[in-house]
Chains A and B, each alone.
Chain A
């Protein structure tokens, strides 16, 4: 297995290039769809917007994920399936109960807080791939939204925002605003605003008030996403407190950035107790 440092360097360079390229594509797609907006009149021209929305976002998300996954150690890779299962199972329970939130990104935020934005990106995109494989392929075009959540949650963790109860929902609020804006073009141009019964009605109401389709889906997203993500981030902060300290210490990202702001005696006790 010849691994020169050169090879490793070039691979890292390639991964970074993938991440930058992916991020650029996502941003460019959004800017094209919102600012250089394709005239949104009548029927046919929206098709290009929809191809660009779906294509740009999916390709961008794939680049981000491909660039991110190589850096993940096995501990993180083993964590991600549990996180995705959590996203999906909780998301399903919530939708069955019919609560007005999604809570389908608890796992993504948790992984991002423990292992950083790259891990959050991979968890995010694969959550939607799994939704696509099991329940409904309409989740796939929205993969980029989970990717954005992963990046923001990881960054919030790096800044220590999961250490306090009031900063976690704040970070969630900001993430929610961005998520709403990023997802709006997909909801508008791919689904015509009709991603579900309740949301569809709200989109219709905004349109009736004179909003454009994109404007209507953006406003609809802003109504639900920030609250949803604020709750999600708070739940994650609570879970992080409940997880055994030794488990948290296994993640270099969490240690390095002191995501939880605690070390020392408590960790000691835990380690001894778990030993068996």
Chain B
């Protein structure tokens, strides 16, 4: 039980080395942010992200999560920039004091599509990669094990934190605390419950650090890992190839004066 969104669908994308996926995601983000044309984002979406989503069999969950994140942003983006973009000159629609400009919409389209790529690519990574595997893979590549510990531990602490809050609430109800009433009253109740919860979690830190030290967390030995991280020579090559190709894609249009 942890607070991650990972779903194990066992697809070929799931089975990739996490670092391969991470490199791919970074390349995609760099390309769409470096090439300032809306159709580049569209192209990346069509040839890379959407096919990957289909192969991963996480398409539905991906669109649901991404829509919740993106919809509010995109709506605000188009409305605000359509109406108030400082560089806006060409009026499309006018309605009283409100004027929608085509420059504003164009600007919003450019930013909006890039955000779509950013969100879809990273959510897809998270959906198809168990955080534990990502951390093991990165630690194996020289990342400080402290990063891996903090991230994994936090992901599992958040649900434990909520469970404990629920347990405390239940125990107080069993002592006659009524939780009915207005939202304001509920906030008032939550505060004396959260205070001790937080204190409790923080005072537990002493025990937790003792237990970690006792199991060699402070050791300077080279870490090994119980569960092997999947990898292949094709992936090893592609982890170098992808950044090279991206670089070429970004540099060539400038060098040839196409942009």
Residues of A within 8 A of B (CB): 1, 3, 40-48, 50-51, 54-55, 65-66, 69-70, 72, 74-75, 77-82, 84-86, 88-90, 93, 97, 122, 126, 129-130, 132-134, 136-138, 140, 190-197, 200-201, 203-205, 207-208, 210-213, 239, 242-244, 247, 250
Does B111 have its Cβ within 8 Å of any Cβ on chain A?
Answer: yes
Residues of A within 8 A of B77 (CB): 191-194, 200
| B185-212 CB contacts (< 8 Å) to partner A | 187, 190, 194-195, 198-199, 201-206, 208-209, 212
Taking a contact as CB atoms closer than 8 A, the residue among A44, A97, A244 that contacts B187 in the complex is A97
Give B65's nearest chain A residue, CB to CB: A136
Is B213's CB under 8 angstroms from A138's CB? no
Bound state CA distance, A133 and B190, in angstroms? 27
Q: Is the interface of A mostly helix, strand, loop or mixed?
A: helix
Is A130's CB under 8 angstroms from B151's CB? yes
Bound state CA distance, A79 and B118, in angstroms? 31
Closest CB-CB distance, B225 to chain A, in whole Å?
A: 19
Interface 0/1 of B80-110, CB less than 8 Å to A: 1101111100000000000000010011101
Taking a contact as CB atoms closer than 8 A, the residue among A191, A197, A242 that contacts B115 in the complex is A191
Residues of B within 8 A of A134 (CB): 3-5, 126, 155, 158
Residues of B within 8 A of A43 (CB): 36, 87, 103, 106-107, 110
Is A136's CB under 8 angstroms from B33's CB? no
Taking a contact as CB atoms closer than 8 A, the residue among B69, B149, B161, B221 that contacts A89 in the complex is B161
Taking a contact as CB atoms closer than 8 A, the residue among B79, B84, B183, B194 that contacts A97 in the complex is B183
Bound state CA distance, A48 and B206, in angstroms? 47
Closest CB-CB distance, B210 to chain A, in whole Å?
A: 9
Closest 3 CB pairs of A and B: A47-B36, A200-B76, A137-B122
Closest CB-CB distance, B200 to chain A, in whole Å?
A: 10
Is A84's CB under 8 angstroms from B154's CB? yes
Is B157's CB under 8 angstroms from A85's CB? yes
Is B147's CB under 8 angstroms from A126's CB? yes
Count residues of B near A (Cβ-Cβ below 8 Å): 73
Would A42 and B87 be within 8 Å (CB), given that A69-B146, A194-B73 are in contact? Answer: yes
Is A45's CB under 8 angstroms from B83's CB? no
Q: Is the interface of B mostly helix, strand, loop or mixed?
A: helix
Bound state CA distance, A197 and B150, in angstroms? 32
Taking a contact as CB atoms closer than 8 A, the residue among A48, A54, A122, A207 that contacts B86 in the complex is A207
Bound state CA distance, A197 and B36, in angstroms? 26
Residues of B within 8 A of A41 (CB): 87
Is A197's CB under 8 angstroms from B76's CB? yes
Would A69 and B108 be within 8 Å (CB), given that A40-B87, A84-B154 are in contact? Answer: no
Would A44 and B206 be within 8 Å (CB), given that A126-B151, A194-B76, A197-B72 are in contact? Answer: no
Does B30 have its Cβ within 8 Å of any Cβ on chain A?
Answer: yes
Residues of B within 8 A of A48 (CB): 34, 36
Closest CB-CB distance, A121 to chain B, in whole Å?
A: 12
Does B162 have its Cβ within 8 Å of any Cβ on chain A?
Answer: yes
Task: Please give 13 more A-B residue pairs, beta carbons under 8 A apart, in addition to A51-B34, A126-B150, A204-B79.
Answer: A43-B106, A47-B35, A47-B110, A54-B29, A77-B150, A78-B209, A81-B153, A134-B4, A137-B119, A137-B122, A196-B73, A200-B76, A204-B80
Bound state CA distance, A48 and B33, in angstroms? 7
Bound state CA distance, A122 and B151, in angstroms? 11
Is B212's CB under 8 angstroms from A78's CB? yes
For A72, A130, A133, the residue with the greatest tally of chain B CB atoms inside 10 Å of its CB is A133
Bound state CA distance, A40 and B107, in angstroms? 11
Is B73's CB under 8 angstroms from A78's CB? no
Chain A to chain B contacts (Cβ below 8 Å), 12 pairs: A42-B87, A42-B103, A43-B87, A50-B33, A77-B217, A84-B150, A86-B198, A132-B126, A133-B4, A191-B115, A208-B83, A213-B86
